């Protein structure tokens, strides 16, 4: 039996940089339907969604590969419309391709948001005497990163940033620098806190500092696999 899975990005679909890696974990027997909050918008309309003062900055990718910064608050109705679309396409579960914090949506099938799953793993893994390292996709999100992870019961939180949408060579250099800094500060667990970070990025980080590193797309893949598991 083929299981139909929906993937919803806050940018534009298809997410050729993300979904193939998720599917490599899911394995055979799954059919994919993708949708993006910005799929039906012109570039000018997308630019009009840029965060204003007081709005939350979220980072995603356009179909062209270009990075885009969007207001979380004005994304909500666009995401809800695409949830309805995916349900009409007959998906059994929807994976949200963003590790940000989101409210509840009106949805008839399981909607897996990576952020609560990531938080649960971090809270289950870290002790009160340990340090959490977080890598956000933009320096504009560093304060948000502190706020987002502040309730985790650990000794300290260190937040850095690098975009997963710059060249692999450049982000590898930056990730290696962050890994060295985290090693010097005795970080115990790391979250690469953006769906755009790849398994390749994880391996670059671990080549410098080989500690547990959580990757949102991997966590999402195994959550979907668990929900749809059949012997």
For the chain, the distance separating the N- and C-terminal CA atoms, rounded to the nearest angstrom, is 12
How many independent structural domains does the chain possess?
Answer: 2
Considering the domain architecture, whether residues 45 and 67 belong to the same structural domain is answered as: yes
Considering the domain architecture, whether residues 11 and 109 belong to the same structural domain is answered as: yes
Q: Which residues, given as ranges, of the chain have pLDDT below 50? A: none
Considering the domain architecture, whether residues 137 and 108 belong to the same structural domain is answered as: no
List, as one string, the DSSP characters of the chain: -PEEEEEEESS-S--TTTHHHHHHHH-SSEEEEEEETTTT--HHHHHTTS--TTSPEEEEE-TTS-EEEEEHHHHHHHHHHHHHHHHHTT-SEEEEE--S-------SS-EE-HHHHHHHHHHHH--TT-EEEEEES-GGGHHHHHHHHTTS-SSEEEEEE--TTS-HHHHHHHHHHHHHHHHHTT--EEEE-STT--HHHHHHHHHHS-S-EE-HHHHHHHHHHHHT---
Considering the domain architecture, whether residues 48 and 98 belong to the same structural domain is answered as: yes
Considering the domain architecture, whether residues 194 and 123 belong to the same structural domain is answered as: yes
State which residues form the domain around 30. 3-114+218-227
Considering the domain architecture, whether residues 63 and 156 belong to the same structural domain is answered as: no
Considering the domain architecture, whether residues 107 and 128 belong to the same structural domain is answered as: no
Considering the domain architecture, whether residues 99 and 198 belong to the same structural domain is answered as: no
Per-residue b/e over 4-19, b at no fewer than 16 CB within 10 Å?
bbbbbbbbbbbbebbb
Report the alpha-carbon distance of residue 7 to residue 221 in Å, rounded.
11
Taking residue 179's Cβ as centre, other Cβ atoms within 10 Å add up to: 24
- Residue 229's pLDDT is 85
The predicted model scores a pTM of: 0.95
Considering the domain architecture, whether residues 60 and 32 belong to the same structural domain is answered as: yes
Question: The domain that contains 61 carries what CATH number?
Answer: 3.40.50.1860
- Residue 230's pLDDT is 77
Per the CB < 8 A criterion, the answer to whether 169 and 142 are in contact is no
Considering the domain architecture, whether residues 45 and 145 belong to the same structural domain is answered as: no
Which has the closest alpha carbon to 17: 223, 224, 217? 217
Considering the domain architecture, whether residues 69 and 182 belong to the same structural domain is answered as: no
- Residue 231's pLDDT is 66
Per the CB < 8 A criterion, the answer to whether 112 and 93 are in contact is yes
Considering the domain architecture, whether residues 36 and 83 belong to the same structural domain is answered as: yes
């Amino acid at each position: 039996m083929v299981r139909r899975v929906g993937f919803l990005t806050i940018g534009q679909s298809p997410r050729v940089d993300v979904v193939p890696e998720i599917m490599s974990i899911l394995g055979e027997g799954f059919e994919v339907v993708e949708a993006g909050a910005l799929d039906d918008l012109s570039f000018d309309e997308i630019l009009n969604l840029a965060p204003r003062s007081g709005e939350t900055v979220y980072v995603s990718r356009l179909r062209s590969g270009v990075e885009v910064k969007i207001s979380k608050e004005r994304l909500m109705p666009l995401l809800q419309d695409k949830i309805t679309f995916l349900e009409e396409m007959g998906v059994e579960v929807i994976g949200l391709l963003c590790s940000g914090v989101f409210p509840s949506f009106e949805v008839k099938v399981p909607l897996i948001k990576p952020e609560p799953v990531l938080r649960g793993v971090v809270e289950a893994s870290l002790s009160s005497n340990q340090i959490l390292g977080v890598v956000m996709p933009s320096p504009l999100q560093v304060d948000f990163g502190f706020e987002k992870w502040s309730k985790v019961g650990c000794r300290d939180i260190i937040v850095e940033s690098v975009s997963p949408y710059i060249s692999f060579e450049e982000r590898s250099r930056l990730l290696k620098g962050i890994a060295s800094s985290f090693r010097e500060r005795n970080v115990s667990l790391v979250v690469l806190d953006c769906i755009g970070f790849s398994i390749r990025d994880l391996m670059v980080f671990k080549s410098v500092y080989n500690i547990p590193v959580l990757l949102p797309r991997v966590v999402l893949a195994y959550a979907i696999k668990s929900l749809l598991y059949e012997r």
